[in-house]
Amino acid sequence: MYKAIYRKYRPKTFEDLIGQDHITKILQNQIQTNTISHAYLFSGTRGTGKTSCAKIFARAINCLDPDNKPCNKCENCLESLDESSIDIIEIDAASNNGVDNIRDLKDRAFYQPTSLKYKVYIIDEVHMLSKGAFNALLKILEEPPDHLVFILATTEPDRIPLTILSRCQKFQFKRIDTNEMFLALKSIAKKEGVTIDDDSYNLVINAADGSMRDAQSILEQLVSSGRDQITYDYAINLLGIVDKSNIIKIVDSIIENDAASLIEEIDQALLQGKDTEQLAKDILDHFRNLMLAKVSPESADRLIRSNVEAYLNQSKKLSLEKILQAMEKLINQLNEIKYSQQQRAFLEITLLEVFQLVNFKSEVFTREERPETPRKEKTQVKTADVKDNLEKENKKIETKKTSPSQTEEKSLDLEESSKKPSSSPADTKLTKERIISDWKDILIEIKKEKPMVHAFIVEATISDCVDNTVTFGFHKEYDFHMDKLLKDNNRELVEKVLSLFYNTSVKINAKFIEDEKEASINKDIDTLTKLVGEENIKIF
339-362 pLDDT, tens per residue? Answer: 888 888 989 999 999 998 888 654
Residue 423's pLDDT is: 44
d(CA 90, CA 121): 6
Lowest-confidence range among 135-149, 249-263, 320-334, 381-395? 381-395
Q: Is the dihedral of CA 509, 510, 513, 515 positive or negative?
A: positive
Residue 535: pLDDT band with limits 50, 70, 90: low
Residue 244: pLDDT band with limits 50, 70, 90: confident
d(CA 23, CA 30): 11
pTM: 0.60
3-state SS, 172-240, equals ECCCCCHHHHHHHHHHHHHHCCCEECHHHHHHHHHHHCCCHHHHHHHHHHHHCCCCCEECHHHHHHHHC
Please, are residues 337 and 266 in contact by the beta-carbon 8 Å criterion? no
The stretch 188-200 carries a mean pLDDT of 92
The stretch 70-92 carries a mean pLDDT of 91
187 vs 206 pLDDT, higher one: 187
Q: How do beta strands 88-92 and 119-124 pair? A: parallel
Residue 520: pLDDT band with limits 50, 70, 90: very low
310 vs 242 pLDDT, higher one: 310
Ranges 259-273, 314-328, 452-466, most confident: 314-328
Please, are residues 116 and 76 in contact by the beta-carbon 8 Å criterion? yes
The stretch 128-146 carries a mean pLDDT of 91
Please, are residues 138 and 164 in contact by the beta-carbon 8 Å criterion? yes
Residue 70's pLDDT is: 94
Share the mean pLDDT of the chain: 82
Burial 127-143 (b: 16+ CB within 10 A, else e): bbbeeebbebbeebbee
420 vs 185 pLDDT, higher one: 185
As separate numbers, helices (DSSP H) first and strands (DSSP E) second, the chain gives 25, 10
Instruction: Flag whether pLDDT at 410 surpasses 50.
Output: no
Residue 26's pLDDT is: 96
Instruction: Flag whether pLDDT at 381 surpasses 60.
Output: no
Exposed, middle or buried, 16 (CB in 10 Å: 0-12/13-18/19+)? middle
User: ∠ CA 11-68-61 to the nearest 5 degrees?
Assistant: 75
Residue 69 makes CB contacts below 8 A (sequence gap 6+) with 28, 31, 59, 60, 61, 63
The helix/strand/coil state of 347 is: helix
Task: Determine if residue 153 is left, alpha or beta; phi over 0 gives left, psi from -120 to 50 gives alpha, anything else beta.
Answer: beta
d(CA 346, CA 159): 33
d(CA 62, CA 372): 79
d(CA 150, CA 140): 10
d(CA 361, CA 302): 35
230 has which bridge partners?
Answer: 196
d(CA 523, CA 450): 20
332-342 pLDDT, tens per residue? Answer: 888 888 888 88
From first CA to last CA, the distance across the chain in angstroms is: 46
Rg (CA), the chain: 33
The helix/strand/coil state of 87 is: coil
d(CA 135, CA 398): 88
Instruction: Flag whether pLDDT at 397 surpasses 80.
Output: no
The stretch 172-185 carries a mean pLDDT of 92
Residue 123's pLDDT is: 94
In the 8-state DSSP scheme, what is residue 113? P
Q: Is the dihedral of CA 3, 7, 11, 16 positive or negative?
A: positive
d(CA 329, CA 289): 16
Residue 502 makes CB contacts below 8 A (sequence gap 6+) with 420, 424, 426, 430
195 has which bridge partners?
Answer: 229
Instruction: Flag whether pLDDT at 293 surpasses 80.
Output: yes
Residue 365's pLDDT is: 44
d(CA 96, CA 356): 49
d(CA 420, CA 426): 9
Residue 105: pLDDT band with limits 50, 70, 90: confident
The stretch 278-298 carries a mean pLDDT of 89
Instruction: Flag whether pLDDT at 373 surpasses 60.
Output: no
Residue 214 makes CB contacts below 8 A (sequence gap 6+) with 46, 47, 207, 208
Lowest-confidence range among 101-105, 124-128, 381-385, 425-429? 381-385
Residue 157's pLDDT is: 93
Residue 282's pLDDT is: 87
331: Cα separation from own chain's centroid: 4
89 has which bridge partners?
Answer: 121
The helix/strand/coil state of 363 is: coil
